[in-house]
Structure 1
Amino acid sequence: MYTSLIRPLLFQLSAERAHNLAMSGLKIASQSGIATAALRAAVGSVPDAPVQAMGLTFRHPLGLAAGMDKNAVALRAWEALGFSHLEIGTVTPRPQPGNPQPRMFRLPEDEALINRMGFNNGGAEAAALRIKASKHRNLIVGGNIGRNKTTGNEQAVDDYLAALNAVYAVVDYIAVNVSSPNTPGLRDLQSEASMRALLEAVANEAKRLGGKPVAVKIDPDSSKEHVQRTASLAVECGLKGIIATNTTVGRTGLRTPQARIDAIGAGGLSGAPLTRRSTEVVEWVREAVGSSASVLGVGGVRTAQDVRDKRNAGADLVQVYSGLVYEGPAMVRQLAAAWNA
């Protein structure tokens, strides 16, 4: 039904407008027990296949990546659709509008998206209030945190700590986003000195607040050496998870005409073109950290084989985003079942 009816209608709208419309519907559904029951019935139950990761027990390995529900408005709907976990955000200490529109684009020929949203969100405190007010029961919630656009990297640690403190009490784990390509200078925080200072500060603050696990989200564009050095550093700083990967700034191998790519311009590419590279990075990370940290595989997950490939590369969990846009919610049950197949 999704691919034959709902998707064609949504794809008549701009990518961001369709996203906002879908989120509005899911927000309304989250406020109604009848609506969430209807969602659950529509997609079917997702069998439990418990997974231990970052010291937490997940119902099954499939989650929703950060960026879809930035402001935590639809937790009960995501739970009804069968996800075991999701990351809200990226949230920043202060609300910000993000980059100018248009800033989200579809590449249907590639089953991909390009976005340059720029951490548009209503602020970490507002998201925390929504999470606290929601009545989700079996959904693990990660808080994906970042710095405000107006904050220089010299003060970035303060922003991450402020966002951490705002959401800590209502999330199950923290995800440190230093790899979005859409906030100027953010990836500079992935230098060894900056990364060490940031991760040590966040890990120490999380420990002071009670010890909930912290993960870091890395990019797919770095070399194997840099990826493995970053992963090892994260473990050294006390982190429990590595999320591989964020979107890519690369544009190689696309079917979409080059003129269209040029017209879109800057932004992070997600979806099918990222599948192979993100799986490769998962493998690099697992090689570097062994059993000392959990690995969350993100990037181009659309099929059962994609799930198995991430698992075989060393992922403990997988997350989807663009695949959900193209395949719809029926994929949740199918992909969750693929883990043990």
Structure 2
Amino acid sequence: MYKIIIRPIFFLFDPEKIHHFTFGLVKFLSKIPLLPSIFRSLYQVNDKNLERNLFGLTFKNPVGLAAGFDKNAVLYNELANFGFGFIEIGTVTPKGQVGNPKKRLFRLKDDQGIINRMGFNNEGLEAAIDQLKKNKGKLIIGGNIGKNTNTLSENYTEDYLTCFNGLHPYVDYFVLNVSCPNVSSHAKLEDVGYLKELITEVQKVNNQQEKQKPILLKIAPDLNDTQLDEIIQLVAETKIDGVITSNTSINRNNLKVSESRLKAIGNGGVSGQPIKERSTRVIKYLADNSNKAFPIIGVGGIHSEQDALEKIKAGADLVQIYTGFIYEGPRLVKRINKAILKAI
């Protein structure tokens, strides 16, 4: 029903506006008695064989919702009814910011992809904390953190530490988002020397906590082999808990959409099916060349059960969806979990 009726209607409207409309709709429907339990019966697969133990956490299943969907942690309790094993909120920055000027979100229907240049739009740390205090404990929550756009380069680390300290009591793991192509002046975040410094400082603060939280690094799908070797070395040196691959891509090769439309869209990161193979290649390279030395969460272009299984076969321990959730609908989570069970 989603792909035949709901999606064609949704796709008639501006992507960002329909995103907010959908949030309101799910919120409303979830308040109707019995509907949440109906959602759970339709979309959840509860089986002990789906459980995954990573970073000292037990995930009820390996299919998560990637950061960027529930930026401000306003819908995670309701989204838990749709079968996810974990949900990553954010990217959260210390101060709220509007992000880049609209229009900034574009569908690539023929490519089953999206281009966005949102620019870390979010309501800020305190707003996220207020929402996370409402956590009903249904599943694992990750906190994806970043810097404010206007923060000076010498204060980048302070931004990450502010978010880390603020969210620490309320999330189960952290993701350092250093690879988003949609925020200005982020070149320093691509420097391995700075990444080592950033990770070390965050780990120092983590070690001072009564309970340490896992810390992961989110990387781009456009890294070459030399850069990926540097990531493997970085993980080995810092002992960071894992890597998420990948973020959106700046590569626009082999898209079906016309050059004129791409020019009209302008800058932005590509997600969805166009980056599937690139993301999977990065997963496999990291897994093979590190001797599977660290956990990997695979994200990028998962629109089917087979897409998810390819990521897992390449070396991903968990997977996340976002664009595939928009194109395929909520049944995708259940389909992937059932396929994983069948493949065991």
TM-score (norm 2): 0.95
- The residue aligned with 1:37 is 37
- The residue aligned with 1:181 is 181
Q: Evaluate the alpha carbon distance shift between residue 9 and residue 332 of structure 1 in structure 2; reply closer, same or farther with a 3 A threshold.
A: same
**Could you say what secondary structure the match of 2:16 adopts?**
helix
- Residue range with higher mean Cα deviation, 183-192 or 103-112: 183-192
Q: Evaluate the alpha carbon distance shift between residue 309 and residue 187 of structure 1 in structure 2; reply closer, same or farther with a 3 A threshold.
A: farther
Would the aligned equivalents of 1:112 and 1:269 in 2 still touch at CA under 8 Å? yes
- The residue aligned with 1:294 is 295
Cα distance in 1 for partners of 2:207, 2:294 equals: 16
Cα distance in 2 for partners of 1:32, 1:290 equals: 49
- The residue aligned with 1:4 is 4
- The residue aligned with 1:213 is 214
- The residue aligned with 2:69 is 68
Q: Percent identity?
A: 39
- The residue aligned with 1:111 is 112
**Could you say what secondary structure the match of 2:133 adopts?**
helix
- The residue aligned with 1:101 is 102
- The residue aligned with 2:88 is 87
AA aligned to 1:261 is L
- The residue aligned with 1:245 is 246
Cα deviation for residue 132 of structure 1 reads 1.7
**Could you say what secondary structure the match of 1:266 adopts?**
coil
Query: Which consecutive unaligned segments of at least 5 residues does structure 1 have?
Result: none
Cα distance in 2 for partners of 1:250, 1:267 equals: 10
**Could you say what secondary structure the match of 1:79 adopts?**
helix
- Residue range with higher mean Cα deviation, 40-49 or 149-158: 40-49
Cα deviation for residue 29 of structure 1 reads 4.4
- The residue aligned with 2:190 is 190
1:293-315 deviations in Å (ceiling 9; x for gaps): 21000100111111111111110
**Could you say what secondary structure the match of 1:95 adopts?**
strand
Q: How many residues align?
A: 340
Would the aligned equivalents of 1:180 and 1:187 in 2 still touch at CA under 8 Å? no
* Alignment partner of 1:233 is 2:234: yes
- The residue aligned with 1:265 is 266
Cα deviation for residue 32 of structure 1 reads 5.7
- The residue aligned with 1:136 is 137
Cα distance in 1 for partners of 2:3, 2:82 equals: 16
- The residue aligned with 2:282 is 281
Cα deviation for residue 54 of structure 1 reads 2.1
Cα deviation for residue 31 of structure 1 reads 5.2
Cα deviation for residue 269 of structure 1 reads 0.2
Q: Evaluate the alpha carbon distance shift between residue 339 and residue 45 of structure 1 in structure 2; reply closer, same or farther with a 3 A threshold.
A: closer
Cα distance in 2 for partners of 1:142, 1:117 equals: 20
1:4-41 deviations in Å (ceiling 9; x for gaps): 11101110111111111112223334556633223223
Would the aligned equivalents of 2:292 and 2:315 in 1 still touch at CA under 8 Å? no
- The residue aligned with 1:153 is 153
**Could you say what secondary structure the match of 1:67 adopts?**
coil
- The residue aligned with 1:318 is 319
Cα deviation for residue 97 of structure 1 reads 0.7
1:100-134 deviations in Å (ceiling 9; x for gaps): 10000000000000000000111122112211213
1:159-218 deviations in Å (ceiling 9; x for gaps): 000011111101000000000001112243121211111111112212222211000000
AA aligned to 1:299 is G
Q: Evaluate the alpha carbon distance shift between residue 46 and residue 195 of structure 1 in structure 2; reply closer, same or farther with a 3 A threshold.
A: same
Cα distance in 1 for partners of 2:142, 2:89 equals: 6
Cα distance in 2 for partners of 1:47, 1:4 equals: 30
Q: Evaluate the alpha carbon distance shift between residue 261 and residue 254 of structure 1 in structure 2; reply closer, same or farther with a 3 A threshold.
A: same
Cα distance in 1 for partners of 2:186, 2:111 equals: 27
Q: CA RMSD in A?
A: 1.5
Would the aligned equivalents of 1:30 and 1:76 in 2 still touch at CA under 8 Å? no
TM-score (norm 1): 0.96
AA aligned to 2:322 is Y
Would the aligned equivalents of 1:30 and 1:74 in 2 still touch at CA under 8 Å? no
Q: Evaluate the alpha carbon distance shift between residue 33 and residue 214 of structure 1 in structure 2; reply closer, same or farther with a 3 A threshold.
A: farther
Q: Evaluate the alpha carbon distance shift between residue 83 and residue 33 of structure 1 in structure 2; reply closer, same or farther with a 3 A threshold.
A: farther
1:40-62 deviations in Å (ceiling 9; x for gaps): 23435454411122221111110
* Alignment partner of 1:59 is 2:60: yes
Would the aligned equivalents of 1:106 and 1:113 in 2 still touch at CA under 8 Å? yes
1:140-172 deviations in Å (ceiling 9; x for gaps): 100000000010222100000001111110100
AA aligned to 1:26 is V
